[in-house]
Amino acid sequence: MGDEAALVVADYHAGIEAGLRYERGVELDSNAAVRRVRLLGLLDRVDPDRLVVLGDLGHQIGNPEGEEADELDDLLAAVLDRVPVTLVRGNHDGGVAERFGSDDGAGDAADDHRNRLTVSESGGVRLGRVGFVHGHTWPSREVVESDVVCMGHEHPAVRLEDTVGGGRKERAWLRGPLRPEPFAEQLHLAVEDLDWHDPELVIVPAFNDRSGGTWVNVDGQGFLAPFLPEALVDADTDAYLLDGTRLGPYRSV
């Protein structure tokens, strides 16, 4: 990435309300405009050179259509006017790259937008010293050989209890060191053959506050990524609230 600064978000899940209506019979008004304003506000505040989306920009597993497609069109048109976007392909991103700007009659503006949207393979991408992967598949070798690995997919959250037994769920970050052995085995390599930089894993909370999540400090809740928790050093992996408050090792929060 060099001197380029990036804003990184995960699990935007555009069109989630239509998905919840179809999947669970839950009726919610669309929050598309609020999500878009939040993201554009972050771009204004951070002023990055690039936006990196750690997968699941859309909600539908297949090609986006209907309300989701409309939300993606409006969102990407607004964002790509400001910065180029790298979308790290997630399990909900089928058809996003193919759809946006694919209309040959859309004109020069759509062509320019299409050129500013890059979609990685599912194994992720490395930009400078930072690797990015969604997390539904094993990361590529170039990603695990980074200094820092950022992923989404998990929607990490913690359950916090008060002294009288009440509880609430809070979205959270997870940060901790990775072990090389699971990745070497997956890549059919000896550990010493990896260009291992003792990377820190950063699991980014879901941008969409209407999506579910993995309660990382609740018994019976498991990770979704195929390399977790085996690749984590549990005792050194901390949970953080969205405001940066450190909660300590995630297992004991």
C-alpha 76/C-alpha 82 separation (Å) is: 10
8-63: per-residue pLDDT in tens? 999 999 989 887 776 767 788 889 999 999 999 999 999 999 999 999 998 876 67
Give the residue-averaged pLDDT of 203-228: 91
Angle at 8 between CA 207 and CA 65, to 5 degrees: 55
User: 252 by DSSP, 3-state: which?
Assistant: helix
Cα(first)–Cα(last) distance of the chain, in Å?
34
Give the residue-averaged pLDDT of 221-238: 94
Give the distance from CA 97 to its chain's centroid: 16
- pLDDT confidence of 101, banded at 50, 70, 90? very low
Cα distances (angstroms) measured from residue 199 to each of 69, 191, 242: 36, 14, 22
pLDDT at 112: 62
Angle at 157 between CA 230 and CA 234, to 5 degrees: 30
pLDDT at 103: 44
- Decide: 62 and 94 in contact? Cβ < 8 Å: yes
pLDDT at 166: 73
| % of residues, the chain, pLDDT over 70 | 90
C-alpha 239/C-alpha 246 separation (Å) is: 6
pLDDT at 63: 74
Q: Among the listed ranges 18-32, 46-60, 117-131, 140-154, which one has the minimum average pLDDT value?
A: 18-32
Angle at 61 between CA 57 and CA 65, to 5 degrees: 75
Kindly list the domain boundaries of the chain, sorted by start residue: 1-119, 121-253
- pLDDT confidence of 185, banded at 50, 70, 90? very high
Which CATH number is 1-119 given?
3.60.21.10
